[in-house]
Structure 1
Amino acid sequence: MPDKSQSSDAEVIARSKIGQHVTYFALGITAMFGLVAILVSISIKDADAKERFGYVKDILAIVLPLVGTWVGTVLAFYFSRENFVAAAQQTTDLVSKLTPEQRLQSIAVTEVMLDMYASTTTKLVLTSANDAEKFKLKKDIVSEILEKQNRNRLPIVDDAGRILFVLHRSIIDQFLVKCAETGGALLADATLKDLLEAENLKTIFQAFAIVGRNSKLITVKEAMDGNPNCSDAFVTEDGTKGSKAVGWITNEVVREKILT
């Protein structure tokens, strides 16, 4: 397979030759029509010098714009793509020189967030505090939601769409292991309420960040860097926890944008 740089060099050489040929051809055509115009004017015996010059000027005035337009069209066709590629490469080079923080400062959270109300976004709605007791942790949360929908995180919102908790599969598994150590019956009976009321886990489930629609991705990164338990951020309508969550950004999204 030919090297990409060699292919690019060959293309530049080919374009250069095309440019030379078109230029030489245009000069030749111009000279030829100029000579023809002079010969035509000389052949008109009854015309004086001023009239003959007028004939030459009229012929060239008709021909030269046509030749010039044709040359410009051909050169533009062959060289406009090269200029575009060069401009795109310059832009790419500038972006690659930006630090990760500078790149994140230019990315709006609304560009990368997951829509909380999209059909592909899995979440659990609790209409009241007592609802958490209705969900068996292993059967309803792990098996029926996380495993069946191939998810590792589960946002929990209230009936107004306000974010309450974010459950991570790894934390749930740790909790279930501890339940198993105390007896099989307790493991099967463990509810979502039991998990949410665990004092050592509640702060983790509520360690998410809240940002507004006009925020940049750097704000999310700074929030996550400032809290080792924070792996998620939610975009709300007014940038406060008490309003409806419209978007969700994970630490994986932030990491992906840093690396690209």
Structure 2
Amino acid sequence: METPPCILVVDDDREIRTLLAEYLDANQFRTLTAADGAGMWRALDSARIDLIVLDLTLPGEDGLTLCRNLRARSTLPVVMLTARGEPVDRIIGLEMGADDYMSKPFEPRELVARIRNVLRRTQSLPPNLEPPQAKRMCFAGWILDLAARHLVNPSNMLVMLSGAEFRLLKVFLDHPNRVLNRDQLLNLTKGHDADPFDRSIDLQVSRLRQKLGDDAKAPSLIKTLRNEGYLLAVPVTLEK
């Protein structure tokens, strides 16, 4: 029997931790909770976690700092929670590597749906797609390891990617020298969860360029075609 995914809820509000733990347990998830960053790191050291629900405003290290530090060492998916509904908070959260974002107060049922969708995107292939035959995708001296879900630069150094960055790069590598507009990129990375008014793709492309060392003013890898979209301008080879 397959082990249910383990969700770590990090929130300084005891009532929210209890509510989410009970709701997630009732929906066939295993749940751990932590009140702050120190508790989060302890849980990560002691258990196999599949996804973190992380509050933005925490005592000590806030959620953004924790997400950034986590992303420097892991691609573990993160759903960010915040009591502030400002668009800038959502943008910063995505910049730090969060895979999804919800504002408080929230409906637990919607959060569970988002958790399932993030896990589906980060742990399995979209429905009706064949498993990739290649184990590695190589481009311009870079190597994307599909099994380990990490990126190696031309100097053979590991470059950590968030789940969203991994999916976006994979889409570009699947469609080299082809113009992809924002709607296509949203659909290919988020599927049915895509919001037609979501502008986070531009932010994710910018972040991905930074990881690739691609000059934003004169990019050589991911080019911008005005009023059309983006294009990966280098050949891609597959290795089994």
Structure with more strand by fraction: 2
Q: What TM-score bracket applies, with the shorter chain setting the length?
A: under 0.3
TM-score (norm 2): 0.25
Structure with more helix by fraction: 1
TM-score (norm 1): 0.23
Larger-Rg structure: 1
